[in-house]
Amino acid sequence: MKTENKKTVVVTGITGTQGNAVARELLNNGYEVRGLTRNPGNEKAGQLSALGASILKCDLNVTEDVVRALDGAWGAFGVFTFMEGGIAQEEAQAKRFAAAAKTAGVQQYVYSSVASADRKTGIPHFDNKARVEESLKGLGLKSYTVLRPSFFMENFRSPWLWPALEKGRLDIALKPGTKLQMVAVGDIARYALLAFEKNTGLNRAVIDLAGDELTMPEAAEVLTEALGRKIQYAETPIAAVRAASPEMATMFEWFNRVGLNADIKEVARKYGIQALSLKNWARKVKWPVAAH
Protein backbone atom coordinates (compact mmCIF):
# COMPACT_ATOMS: atom_id res chain seq x y z
CA MET A 1 0.00 0.00 0.00
CA LYS A 2 1.33 3.42 -0.92
CA THR A 3 2.49 5.52 2.02
CA GLU A 4 2.87 9.26 2.23
CA ASN A 5 6.45 10.35 1.71
CA LYS A 6 7.40 13.84 0.65
CA LYS A 7 11.04 12.98 -0.06
CA THR A 8 11.98 13.90 -3.63
CA VAL A 9 14.34 11.52 -5.42
CA VAL A 10 15.91 12.43 -8.75
CA VAL A 11 16.20 9.45 -11.13
CA THR A 12 18.30 9.40 -14.30
CA GLY A 13 17.57 7.21 -17.31
CA ILE A 14 13.81 7.04 -16.76
CA THR A 15 13.16 5.93 -20.33
CA GLY A 16 15.64 3.08 -19.90
CA THR A 17 14.98 -0.32 -18.37
CA GLN A 18 16.66 0.26 -15.02
CA GLY A 19 15.83 3.90 -14.32
CA ASN A 20 12.20 3.34 -15.28
CA ALA A 21 11.88 0.39 -12.89
CA VAL A 22 13.46 2.34 -10.02
CA ALA A 23 11.20 5.36 -10.64
CA ARG A 24 8.10 3.13 -10.55
CA GLU A 25 9.22 1.40 -7.35
CA LEU A 26 9.77 4.75 -5.63
CA LEU A 27 6.42 6.11 -6.81
CA ASN A 28 4.67 2.96 -5.57
CA ASN A 29 6.19 3.56 -2.15
CA GLY A 30 5.17 7.17 -1.79
CA TYR A 31 8.30 9.01 -2.87
CA GLU A 32 8.12 12.06 -5.08
CA VAL A 33 10.11 11.29 -8.23
CA ARG A 34 11.81 13.80 -10.48
CA GLY A 35 12.62 11.87 -13.63
CA LEU A 36 15.35 13.07 -15.97
CA THR A 37 15.34 12.57 -19.72
CA ARG A 38 16.54 14.33 -22.84
CA ASN A 39 13.16 13.58 -24.41
CA PRO A 40 10.18 14.40 -22.17
CA GLY A 41 7.86 13.38 -25.00
CA ASN A 42 9.00 9.76 -24.79
CA GLU A 43 6.18 7.26 -24.15
CA LYS A 44 7.83 5.88 -21.00
CA ALA A 45 8.28 9.40 -19.63
CA GLY A 46 4.60 10.05 -20.28
CA GLN A 47 3.62 6.88 -18.42
CA LEU A 48 5.67 7.93 -15.40
CA SER A 49 4.13 11.38 -15.51
CA ALA A 50 0.69 9.78 -15.42
CA LEU A 51 1.78 7.89 -12.29
CA GLY A 52 2.73 11.16 -10.61
CA ALA A 53 6.39 11.71 -11.49
CA SER A 54 7.71 15.13 -12.40
CA ILE A 55 9.51 14.89 -15.74
CA LEU A 56 12.43 17.23 -16.33
CA LYS A 57 14.33 17.68 -19.57
CA CYS A 58 18.00 17.26 -18.74
CA ASP A 59 21.21 16.72 -20.70
CA LEU A 60 23.62 14.86 -18.41
CA ASN A 61 26.52 16.34 -20.39
CA VAL A 62 25.55 19.88 -19.33
CA THR A 63 26.53 20.82 -15.78
CA GLU A 64 23.89 23.55 -15.52
CA ASP A 65 21.13 21.07 -16.43
CA VAL A 66 22.32 18.59 -13.82
CA VAL A 67 22.64 21.22 -11.08
CA ARG A 68 19.11 22.45 -11.78
CA ALA A 69 17.76 18.90 -11.77
CA LEU A 70 19.17 18.14 -8.33
CA ASP A 71 18.17 21.40 -6.65
CA GLY A 72 16.17 20.68 -3.49
CA ALA A 73 16.25 16.90 -3.89
CA TRP A 74 16.50 14.60 -0.86
CA GLY A 75 17.85 11.64 -2.81
CA ALA A 76 19.18 10.66 -6.22
CA PHE A 77 19.55 7.49 -8.26
CA GLY A 78 22.19 7.57 -10.96
CA VAL A 79 22.46 5.08 -13.83
CA PHE A 80 24.56 5.85 -16.91
CA THR A 81 25.38 4.05 -20.14
CA PHE A 82 28.24 3.88 -22.63
CA MET A 83 25.91 2.78 -25.42
CA GLU A 84 25.20 6.29 -26.69
CA GLY A 85 28.32 8.38 -26.22
CA GLY A 86 31.04 5.90 -25.29
CA ILE A 87 33.03 4.98 -22.19
CA ALA A 88 34.57 8.39 -21.49
CA GLN A 89 31.24 10.20 -21.74
CA GLU A 90 29.54 7.75 -19.40
CA GLU A 91 32.26 8.20 -16.79
CA ALA A 92 32.14 11.99 -17.10
CA GLN A 93 28.35 12.00 -16.71
CA ALA A 94 28.51 9.81 -13.62
CA LYS A 95 31.16 11.94 -11.95
CA ARG A 96 29.39 15.18 -12.89
CA PHE A 97 26.09 13.93 -11.46
CA ALA A 98 27.65 12.75 -8.18
CA ALA A 99 29.50 16.04 -7.71
CA ALA A 100 26.29 17.99 -8.31
CA ALA A 101 24.46 15.74 -5.82
CA LYS A 102 27.09 16.58 -3.22
CA THR A 103 26.82 20.31 -3.91
CA ALA A 104 23.00 20.13 -3.75
CA GLY A 105 23.15 18.51 -0.31
CA VAL A 106 21.49 15.28 -1.41
CA GLN A 107 21.03 13.06 1.65
CA GLN A 108 21.32 9.71 -0.11
CA TYR A 109 22.85 8.92 -3.48
CA VAL A 110 22.41 5.47 -5.02
CA TYR A 111 24.82 4.72 -7.87
CA SER A 112 24.16 1.83 -10.23
CA SER A 113 27.48 0.30 -11.19
CA VAL A 114 28.05 -3.24 -12.49
CA ALA A 115 28.79 -6.59 -10.85
CA SER A 116 32.51 -7.26 -10.38
CA ALA A 117 33.44 -3.67 -11.21
CA ASP A 118 36.22 -3.84 -8.62
CA ARG A 119 37.89 -6.97 -9.99
CA LYS A 120 40.03 -5.37 -12.72
CA THR A 121 38.14 -7.19 -15.45
CA GLY A 122 39.70 -5.33 -18.38
CA ILE A 123 36.18 -4.70 -19.71
CA PRO A 124 36.13 -0.95 -20.43
CA HIS A 125 32.50 -0.35 -19.36
CA PHE A 126 33.16 -2.25 -16.11
CA ASP A 127 36.48 -0.54 -15.35
CA ASN A 128 35.09 2.96 -15.87
CA LYS A 129 32.41 2.25 -13.28
CA ALA A 130 35.14 1.14 -10.88
CA ARG A 131 36.75 4.55 -11.33
CA VAL A 132 33.43 6.25 -10.60
CA GLU A 133 33.02 4.12 -7.47
CA GLU A 134 36.50 5.15 -6.33
CA SER A 135 35.71 8.82 -6.87
CA LEU A 136 32.62 8.53 -4.66
CA LYS A 137 34.75 7.56 -1.66
CA GLY A 138 36.41 10.94 -1.36
CA LEU A 139 33.61 13.14 -2.64
CA GLY A 140 32.07 13.93 0.74
CA LEU A 141 28.52 12.82 0.02
CA LYS A 142 26.34 12.68 3.12
CA SER A 143 25.46 9.06 2.34
CA TYR A 144 25.77 6.83 -0.70
CA THR A 145 25.17 3.23 -1.69
CA VAL A 146 26.55 1.37 -4.72
CA LEU A 147 24.44 -1.31 -6.41
CA ARG A 148 26.25 -3.66 -8.79
CA PRO A 149 23.73 -5.50 -11.00
CA SER A 150 24.71 -8.58 -12.98
CA PHE A 151 23.36 -9.57 -16.42
CA PHE A 152 19.74 -8.41 -16.81
CA MET A 153 17.12 -11.13 -17.21
CA GLU A 154 15.28 -8.52 -19.29
CA ASN A 155 17.91 -9.05 -22.00
CA PHE A 156 16.09 -12.26 -22.92
CA ARG A 157 13.04 -10.28 -24.01
CA SER A 158 14.99 -7.42 -25.60
CA PRO A 159 15.66 -6.73 -29.31
CA TRP A 160 19.08 -8.31 -28.73
CA LEU A 161 17.99 -11.87 -27.82
CA TRP A 162 14.23 -12.05 -28.43
CA PRO A 163 14.24 -12.31 -32.26
CA ALA A 164 16.24 -15.56 -32.08
CA LEU A 165 14.22 -16.86 -29.12
CA GLU A 166 11.07 -16.30 -31.16
CA LYS A 167 12.57 -18.72 -33.69
CA GLY A 168 13.47 -21.24 -31.00
CA ARG A 169 17.13 -20.35 -30.42
CA LEU A 170 19.08 -18.85 -27.55
CA ASP A 171 22.02 -17.35 -29.44
CA ILE A 172 24.70 -16.01 -27.11
CA ALA A 173 28.50 -15.97 -26.99
CA LEU A 174 28.85 -18.12 -23.88
CA LYS A 175 30.36 -21.58 -23.75
CA PRO A 176 28.00 -24.40 -22.73
CA GLY A 177 29.65 -24.78 -19.32
CA THR A 178 29.82 -21.07 -18.45
CA LYS A 179 27.55 -20.09 -15.57
CA LEU A 180 26.12 -16.59 -15.94
CA GLN A 181 24.82 -14.66 -12.95
CA MET A 182 21.70 -12.64 -13.72
CA VAL A 183 19.17 -10.39 -12.02
CA ALA A 184 15.65 -9.11 -12.70
CA VAL A 185 15.50 -5.34 -13.12
CA GLY A 186 12.57 -5.24 -10.70
CA ASP A 187 14.89 -6.61 -8.03
CA ILE A 188 17.43 -3.86 -8.70
CA ALA A 189 14.58 -1.45 -8.05
CA ARG A 190 13.73 -3.22 -4.78
CA TYR A 191 17.31 -2.90 -3.59
CA ALA A 192 17.36 0.76 -4.65
CA LEU A 193 14.25 1.36 -2.54
CA LEU A 194 15.95 -0.37 0.40
CA ALA A 195 18.98 1.90 -0.04
CA PHE A 196 16.74 4.96 0.26
CA GLU A 197 14.67 3.54 3.12
CA LYS A 198 17.75 2.47 5.12
CA ASN A 199 20.11 5.15 3.89
CA THR A 200 22.06 5.74 7.10
CA GLY A 201 22.58 2.03 7.65
CA LEU A 202 23.69 1.45 4.06
CA ASN A 203 26.09 4.40 3.79
CA ARG A 204 29.05 3.24 1.67
CA ALA A 205 27.55 -0.22 1.23
CA VAL A 206 28.46 -1.93 -2.05
CA ILE A 207 26.07 -4.72 -3.10
CA ASP A 208 26.60 -7.14 -6.01
CA LEU A 209 23.15 -8.23 -7.21
CA ALA A 210 22.10 -11.52 -8.78
CA GLY A 211 19.08 -13.77 -8.42
CA ASP A 212 20.26 -16.80 -10.37
CA GLU A 213 23.33 -18.45 -11.87
CA LEU A 214 22.82 -20.72 -14.87
CA THR A 215 24.58 -22.10 -17.91
CA MET A 216 22.92 -21.15 -21.17
CA PRO A 217 21.72 -24.74 -21.84
CA GLU A 218 20.04 -24.52 -18.40
CA ALA A 219 18.60 -21.11 -19.28
CA ALA A 220 17.26 -22.57 -22.55
CA GLU A 221 15.41 -25.23 -20.55
CA VAL A 222 13.84 -22.56 -18.33
CA LEU A 223 12.80 -20.51 -21.36
CA THR A 224 11.41 -23.62 -23.06
CA GLU A 225 9.04 -24.08 -20.13
CA ALA A 226 8.12 -20.38 -19.92
CA LEU A 227 7.45 -19.93 -23.64
CA GLY A 228 5.81 -23.29 -24.23
CA ARG A 229 8.05 -24.21 -27.13
CA LYS A 230 11.49 -25.75 -27.51
CA ILE A 231 14.37 -23.31 -27.12
CA GLN A 232 17.75 -24.58 -28.32
CA TYR A 233 20.97 -23.03 -27.02
CA ALA A 234 23.52 -22.09 -29.69
CA GLU A 235 26.95 -20.61 -28.95
CA THR A 236 27.58 -17.47 -31.02
CA PRO A 237 31.21 -17.35 -32.23
CA ILE A 238 33.12 -14.68 -30.32
CA ALA A 239 34.55 -13.44 -33.64
CA ALA A 240 31.05 -12.53 -34.78
CA VAL A 241 30.50 -10.53 -31.60
CA ARG A 242 33.87 -8.82 -31.99
CA ALA A 243 33.02 -7.77 -35.53
CA ALA A 244 29.93 -5.98 -34.23
CA SER A 245 31.32 -4.75 -30.88
CA PRO A 246 34.85 -5.32 -29.54
CA GLU A 247 33.56 -4.03 -26.18
CA MET A 248 30.93 -6.76 -25.89
CA ALA A 249 33.36 -9.42 -27.12
CA THR A 250 35.75 -8.49 -24.30
CA MET A 251 32.90 -8.86 -21.81
CA PHE A 252 31.83 -12.30 -23.03
CA GLU A 253 35.42 -13.52 -23.11
CA TRP A 254 35.74 -12.48 -19.45
CA PHE A 255 32.45 -14.18 -18.57
CA ASN A 256 33.76 -17.39 -20.15
CA ARG A 257 37.20 -17.14 -18.55
CA VAL A 258 36.40 -15.77 -15.06
CA GLY A 259 32.75 -14.90 -14.46
CA LEU A 260 30.74 -12.88 -11.95
CA ASN A 261 30.88 -13.74 -8.26
CA ALA A 262 27.92 -12.25 -6.37
CA ASP A 263 27.09 -14.23 -3.21
CA ILE A 264 23.41 -14.68 -3.99
CA LYS A 265 22.39 -16.43 -0.78
CA GLU A 266 24.39 -14.19 1.54
CA VAL A 267 23.10 -10.96 -0.02
CA ALA A 268 19.50 -12.20 0.30
CA ARG A 269 20.14 -13.16 3.93
CA LYS A 270 21.89 -9.91 4.82
CA TYR A 271 19.41 -7.52 3.22
CA GLY A 272 16.17 -9.49 3.46
CA ILE A 273 15.31 -9.39 -0.25
CA GLN A 274 15.12 -12.66 -2.16
CA ALA A 275 15.79 -11.86 -5.81
CA LEU A 276 13.87 -13.78 -8.49
CA SER A 277 15.24 -16.91 -10.11
CA LEU A 278 15.13 -16.97 -13.91
CA LYS A 279 12.30 -19.50 -13.72
CA ASN A 280 10.14 -17.27 -11.51
CA TRP A 281 10.96 -14.18 -13.55
CA ALA A 282 10.15 -15.90 -16.86
CA ARG A 283 6.79 -17.05 -15.54
CA LYS A 284 5.66 -13.60 -14.48
CA VAL A 285 6.91 -11.25 -17.22
CA LYS A 286 5.01 -10.26 -20.32
CA TRP A 287 6.86 -11.55 -23.38
CA PRO A 288 7.02 -9.38 -26.52
CA VAL A 289 4.98 -11.85 -28.60
CA ALA A 290 2.61 -14.53 -27.35
CA ALA A 291 4.21 -17.96 -27.27
CA HIS A 292 2.99 -20.45 -29.90
Per domain, the residue ranges of the chain are 8-151+183-210+261-274
Please report, rounded to a whole number, the percentage of residues in the chain having pLDDT higher than 70.
97
Instruction: Report which secondary-structure segment, H or E, holds 290.
Output: none
What pLDDT band is residue 5 in, cutting at 50, 70 and 90? low
**Direct distance between the N- and C-terminal alpha carbons of the chain, in angstroms, rounded to an integer:** 36
pLDDT at 1 (0 to 100): 35
Rounded Cα–Cα distance for residues 70 and 57 (Å): 12
d(C-alpha 232, C-alpha 75), whole Å: 44
**pLDDT at residue 292 in the model:** 39
**pTM summary value:** 0.95
Distance CA 12, CA 59 (A): 10
Cα(58)–Cα(55) distance, rounded to whole angstroms? 9
> What is the spatial distance between Cα 213 and Cα 216, in angstroms, rounded to a whole number?
10
Give the architecture (CATH level 2) of 8-151+183-210+261-274: 3-Layer(aba) Sandwich (3.40)
